[in-house]
Each structure stands twice: as structure tokens, then as C-alpha cells.
Amino acid sequence: MNLSDLKTGEKGIIKGYKNNNFPIKLLELGVLPGVKFEIIFISIFSDSLCISYDLSCLALRKQEAENILVEPINLCKKKIN
């Protein structure tokens, strides 16, 4: 699953990248495998999105987000009787 497949408010963990044609600047900003994040904003035409991770926020173009492989975090609350 790609980062661009998630919706606002969904959380996930970065698992890797589709190809090596990835801006090194994002790696320097901490967009690394194992980082937990949350989608906090998606633009009206879905051409960019903003993620929150490690007390930082980062806006990404859709093309960049499509190159980031993620695993969604499903928060299931179990009811205890």
C-alpha cells in the first residue's frame, strides 16, 4: 500500500520505497522505514498531503507519496465487559 492510498486521520508505519528514484531530502527529514505517522491533511484535488511524525509535519506531493510504501495501523478498541 502507498502513502497516497491512506485517508485523513489514518495512521501507518513507513515500510520502504518503491524505487531508488527518491529525493534524498526526504530521507534527511526523517521519512525513514519504521517511522510512525498520521495523515493530517489532504488537499482538495488530492495532489498533496501532509503527514505528522516524530513531532514534525511534512507536506508531500502525490507523486512522492505514491513512492512510499506503508503499513496501515488499525486501531481496534476491544470492549471489555
pLDDT in tens, 13-50: 999 999 877 778 888 899 999 999 999 999 998 899 99
At residue 47's C-alpha, the angle toward residues 27 and 11, to 5°, is: 60
Instruction: Mark residue 44 as left, alpha or beta (left: phi above 0; alpha: psi -120 to 50; beta: remaining).
Output: alpha
Alpha helices (runs of H) in the chain, residue ranges in sequence order: 24-28, 62-65
Q: Which pLDDT belongs to residue 20?
A: 76
Distance, in Å, from the CA atom of 80 to the CA atom of 20, rounded to the nearest integer, reads 46
User: 77 pLDDT exceeds 60?
Assistant: no
Which pLDDT score is estimated for 68?
93
